[in-house]
Amino acid sequence: MITPGQFFRVLSIQRVLIRHGLDELLFTTPILRSLRFLLYLLPWNWFRGEHGPRAVRIRMVLEQLGPIFIKFGQILSTRRDFLPDDIAEELSQLQDNVPPFPGKQARAIIEKAYGCAVSEVFDNFDENPLASASIAQVHTASLKDGRQVIVKVVRPNIKLTIGRDIGLMRILANTAERYSSQGRELNLLGVVDEFEKTIIDELDMMREAANASQLRRNFSGSAQMYVPEVVWSLTHQNVMVMERVSGIEIDKIDELRKTGVDLHQLAETGVDVFFTQVFRDHFFHADIHPGNLFIKPGENGAPAMYIPVDFGIMGSLSEFDQRYLAENFSAFLDRNYRRVAELHVESGWVPKDTRVDEFEFAIRTVCEPIFDRPVKDISVGALLLRLFQTARRFHMKILPQLLLLQKTIVNVEGIGRQLDPDLDLWRAARPSLEAWMRDRVGLRSVLRSTRQNVPLWIDRLPELPGLTFEILDQIRSGRIQVVSDDPQLRQIRREIARIHQRIVLAVVGVGLMIGAGVLNGVSAETSRMIGPLPLGVWVLGGIGIVAVIAALRNKKTSGL
């Protein structure tokens, strides 16, 4: 139900739509198409002037509707898997520049958070904002110890505005999904829910401060990127204090050249830094644009460093997401579309009954034009987008974190090629990708996994005999029944076979380990030594450990 406040907001939204001719676009939707004749009966359409392209009009409407709609447009621009290209591209240009609120209000918010006067905390506080955005604005200040800081203050009453406008968005999305199959397919309510979560998270300065601290810790000691330090003692839910850093805005190319910055190296370093965040740290800055990225020129021949700011939107990837990306990138570069299709089916990204040959053909159709160009001109972001759009036709549900990654890659590519038009993004990203592959695939991965899990395996080893007898008792007492016409009969047989296999492996493994101990006591002085132990002890003990580990791993895969 629409509240009075929302009703008046609807009227103001309607005026903005009429001003930009978007009421005409509304009548092209399936819901209102049959009533299009009403468009010509509305008085404001009798003298309608010429309007610009639809994408430009949509962007201008969102900008005029205020900060919450601007933020919604920015989030919506990441959903290029279903938005038309012209609208997605135009929405990506939405800038978060909104009029500042009075500095006295900012001072009052800070004093309420600290419970004391601003002068008791800061030696100097500038009420004139340094920057203003939809969620918060930034002021400069200096601490009592002389440190220069920035103070980020959340806008007053922003939660009320968010609640009102998101309520309207949800009503519109619900109506579209109810009366339009296209609305249901686009999952508009899901988009609104995703947006609400994102913007509510951005309101919490403690969360943003934690993001900044994590990124700073990940790049501690790095010569490529410097993350400002958070002053935790002065950070609250609606106020954040952070070290003030100076640098050159990354889109000021001429100024960077004058300071002697190597733009080619800077572009490659930026790509490497981003993919290091993605593949090494599973945690990346997802709001990369020129306003959030500064450059500190190097001194005495040292390379320039990146300085990111605004940590409200961060992305993270699971091991599964990383493997999906790495293996698909590799298969794409080899133009092995069959493998790309198989990876999607094997991993469950698309339904198991998907025909691999049809999926392979669809991927080849959209991707071959991309590869009909030099490798340096191939866009990773465009490649991911094509993949998502194709997979969506085969009922693949694209996860939000992958769409956020794709949008960020597009921004990184844009900035990188602004610095160096000849940037080969694939070559710049290769070190991070190869390092991840070496760390996650092969012997190093096995050794790391074994080192991490051996204490758990040893801890669970005493459970094996008891678990075995428990299963046998259940079978003997009839609690596990084997029925000839039970559809789970084959599964039960497999479980029983695994139990027997585990028993044998466990007994053999423990026996070999005991034998190794005996051998160490008997022949320690006469056998060939490798390190502190005889060769035979290493062989028997190693085989015994492998057998015990195999028994425990079988327990994990059995599902019991």
- What is the share, in percent, of the chain residues with pLDDT greater than 90? 22
Question: How do residues 447-480 score in pLDDT, each as one tens digit?
Answer: 555 565 666 666 666 766 777 777 777 777 766 6
**Domain assignment present for 240:** no
Q: What is the pLDDT of residue 323?
A: 75
Q: Is the pLDDT of residue 438 over 80?
A: no
210 lies in some domain? no
Encoded amino acid at 133, one letter: A
Residues 174 and 37 reside in one and the same domain: yes
Of 118, 124, 113, 115, the C-alpha closest to 149 is 124
Q: What is the distance between the alpha carbons of residues 267 and 261, in angstroms, rounded to a whole number?
A: 11
Per the structure, the count of domains in the chain is: 3
Kindly state the average pLDDT of the residues 136-156. Answer: 94
Average pLDDT, the chain: 76
**Tens of pLDDT, residues 366-404:** 777 776 666 666 677 777 777 777 777 787 766 667 777
Rounded distance between C-alpha atoms, residue 212 and residue 229, angstroms: 8
- Residue identified by tokens 């669970």 is 460
pLDDT at res. 204: 92
Identify the top-confidence range among 161-170, 206-215, 369-378.
206-215
Evaluate whether 284 touches 274 at the Cβ level (below 8 Å): yes
Residue 342 in any domain: the answer is: yes
SS3 of the chain: helix, strand, coil, percent, to 5: 65, 10, 30
Q: Is the domain of 279 the same as that of 311?
A: yes
Residues 19 and 57 sit within 8 Å (Cβ to Cβ): no
Same domain for 553 and 418, yes or no, is no
Please write the tens of the pLDDT for every residue from 276-328.
898 888 899 988 888 889 999 988 778 899 999 999 889 888 877 777 777 77
Contact indicator for 457, 546 with CB cutoff of 8 Å: no
pLDDT at 443 over 70: no
DSSP state of 225: B
Statement to judge: residues 72 and 179 lie in one domain: yes
Higher pLDDT, 341 or 185: 341
What domain range includes position 176?
Answer: 4-96+160-200
Regarding whether 392 and 490 lie in a shared domain, the answer is no
Are 504 and 429 found together in one domain?
A: no
**Residue 223 has what DSSP assignment?**
S
Section 137-161 average pLDDT = 92
Q: Are residues 26 and 173 in the same domain?
A: yes
Query: Which of 127-136, 180-189, 232-241, 519-528 has the highest mean predicted lDDT (pLDDT)?
Result: 232-241
Q: Does 319 fall in a domain? A: yes
Do the domain assignments include residue 490? Answer: yes
What end-to-end distance do the CA atoms of the chain give, in Å? 50
Q: Is position 471 within any domain?
A: yes
Length of the chain counted residue by residue: 560
Same domain, yes or no: 433 and 467: no
Among residues 200, 229, 258, the one where a domain terminates is 200
Of 170, 189, 210, 196, which Cα lies nearest the Cα of 1? Answer: 170
At residue 559, the pLDDT reads 45
Report the DSSP beta bridge partners of residue 315: 284
* Position 84 in a domain: yes
- What is d(CA 327, CA 332) in angstroms, rounded to the nearest whole number? 9
User: Same domain for 300 and 422?
Assistant: yes
Of the listed ranges 51-60, 205-214, 370-379, 520-529, the one predicted with least confidence = 520-529
- Write phi, then psi, for 69 (nearest 5 degrees): -70, -35
Confidence grade of residue 503 (pLDDT, cut at 50, 70, 90): confident
Higher pLDDT, 551 or 358: 358
- Specify whether 345 is located in the same domain as 403: yes
Q: How many CA atoms lie within 13 A of 325 on its CB side?
A: 29
Q: Does residue 426 carry a pLDDT above 70?
A: yes
Cα–Cα nearest to 238, from 272, 207, 198: 207
* Residue 316 and residue 395 share a domain: yes
CA distances from 17 to 24, 28, 294, 371 (A): 9, 14, 37, 41
For residue 85, the number of C-alpha atoms closer than 13 Å in the C-beta half-sphere is 4
Shared-domain flag, residues 309 and 339: yes
Residue 51 tokens, joined: 């309007």
Is residue 219, in this structure, part of any structural domain at all? no
Share above pLDDT 70 across residues of the chain, in percent, rounded to a whole number:
66
CA distance 179 to 184: 9
Last-in-domain residue among 417, 441, 465:
441
Question: For residue 498, what are its two tokens?
Answer: 């695994």
What pLDDT score was predicted for residue 186? 58
Active site residue 287: yes
pLDDT at 560: 41
Which residue out of 23, 96, 165, 287 is catalytically annotated?
287
Lowest pLDDT segment from 206-215, 222-231, 337-346, 516-525 = 516-525
Highest mean pLDDT among 26-35, 250-259, 438-447: 250-259
Higher pLDDT, 498 or 293: 293
